[in-house]
Amino acid sequence: MAKFESTNPLLNVERLEARGRAIGAEQSGQALMTLKGTAQKSILLIVLCFITADLIFGHTMTQLQASMAPGMGYTVGAAIMGLIFYFAGLFVNRLAFIFAPLYAIAEGVFLGAISALFEMKYPGVVLNAVVGTIGVFLIMFVGFSMGIFKVTQKFRAIITTCVLGFFLLYLVNFVVSLFAGSGFDFMAVESSNPALSIGISVFAIIVASCTLLLDFDNIAQLHGEVPKSMEWVCGMGLLASLVWLYVELLKLLAKLQSND
């Protein structure tokens, strides 16, 4: 079977297969990952994230509408805990059935809080971002399932490079904001160069959408090749891609509205 490498570290096929073989050597007769099982666990994680985000969104909106300054400390904490659970699921994947739901909850808290802040300042962007995320997911899933979208080695290399580029850009922007009080102007929602800022968001959405294709392809390749515990790992990785897509759509819609 051909080996593929995902832009999503939780869906790195070679890494997961190596871990899967190691576990399989220790435990004989272990059930293997299936597409159905992965789909069920992915849906569960997405629903858990959505419900958590909806609860936090309502709570934060109530505070904002009452002119109360919401305590946003839990938002930063949720983002940090989400990263911890994310990588714990990768490196201790036999316990992924615990880390995956915790990751989904942490992401829900984070998304619910930032969504409320965006909605308060740019009304309507949250619903449109949710609908847009669902729409892009369905288009990519149907297109991949019908063989319309092909994942080639060249395509994979291009998307991987783009993802790494965005990762470095986000990291540098974060470091600059710590020392300068704000990040790069062209990364801001209300930028003095809206054309560049919007263009970056559009490109980020395209790349995030393409990572879904890589994730679908990797899940298909892992089917029947790794232990069943990897279903939680793959579900968590797919959720991470959806979260990135949603956040980028949210930012783009806010930028467009601020420039009306």
For residue 152, tell me if it sits in a domain.
Answer: yes
Look up tokens 């090749």; give the residue. 225
pLDDT tens by residue, 182-237? 778 888 888 888 999 999 999 999 999 999 999 999 899 888 888 888 899 999 99
Cα–Cα distance for residue pair 83/217, rounded to 1 Å: 24
pLDDT tens by residue, 64-113? 877 766 556 678 788 889 989 999 998 888 899 999 999 999 999 999 99
For residue 102, tell me if it sits in a domain.
Answer: yes
pLDDT tens by residue, 119-160? 999 999 999 999 999 999 999 999 999 999 999 989 999 998
For residue 111, tell me if it sits in a domain.
Answer: yes
The total of structural domains in the chain comes to 1
For residue 212, tell me if it sits in a domain.
Answer: yes
What token pair was written down for 82? Answer: 């989400």
For residue 2, tell me if it sits in a domain.
Answer: no
Count of C-beta atoms within a 10 Å radius of residue 39: 15
For residue 103, tell me if it sits in a domain.
Answer: yes
Contact 133, 249 (CB under 8 A): yes
Domain that residue 138 falls in: 30-258
For 139-178, strand residue ranges (E) read none
For residue 22, tell me if it sits in a domain.
Answer: no
Classify residue 219 as exposed, middle or buried by CB count within 10 Å of its CB (0-12, 13-18, 19+): buried
For residue 250, tell me if it sits in a domain.
Answer: yes
Longest dimension (CA), the chain: 62
**What's the sign of the alpha-carbon dihedral 140, 145, 148, 152?**
positive
Look up tokens 């809206």; give the residue. 194
Considering only CA atoms, which of 20, 25, 141, 159 is closest in space to residue 90?
A: 20
- Across the strands, what pairs with 227? 32
